[in-house]
Amino acid sequence: MRPVLNWLSKDRSQSTLMLIIFASRLVPFISFDAVSYAAGLTPLAFWRFVVATLAGVIPAAYLITAFGGLLMATESGLVTIILILVSGITLLPIIAKLLLARCGVRKNAFQQ
């Protein structure tokens, strides 16, 4: 843990730290809490953190809002079907893990 804290507390450019915060806010799979905690350990000024966070969150919020508006405005079910398919793709790893776990349980039951 100490090497991580030493790396975070190094004297860095405020612009570089802002860029890191901005880029991390654009990636939806990175925990906002983890980024905020890590940023709190750096010498980044609070107002720069706020600006980088807002600049990184606004594009995702706009896309979600625009897609939601398109979904509500369309009269055909095509967009709804596409949304369901895309959502289903995110469930594939969870389903695969459950199936593999179930097959592993069955193998262990037959081996005993």
Model confidence pLDDT, tens digit, residues 79-106: 778 778 877 887 888 888 888 888 875 5
The answer to whether 60 and 28 are in contact (CB under 8 A) is yes
Say which residues have a Cβ less than 8 Å from residue 66's Cβ, sequence separation at least 6: none
pTM of the predicted model over 0.75 = no
Q: Which residues, other chains included, contact 104 with Cβ-Cβ below 8 Å and sequence gap of 6+?
A: none
> Where does the pLDDT of residue 10 fall: very low under 50, low under 70, confident under 90, or very high at 90 and above?
low
Q: Compute the distance between CA of residue 20 and CA of residue 106 in angstroms, rounded to an integer.
A: 46
User: Residue 70: what pLDDT?
Assistant: 76
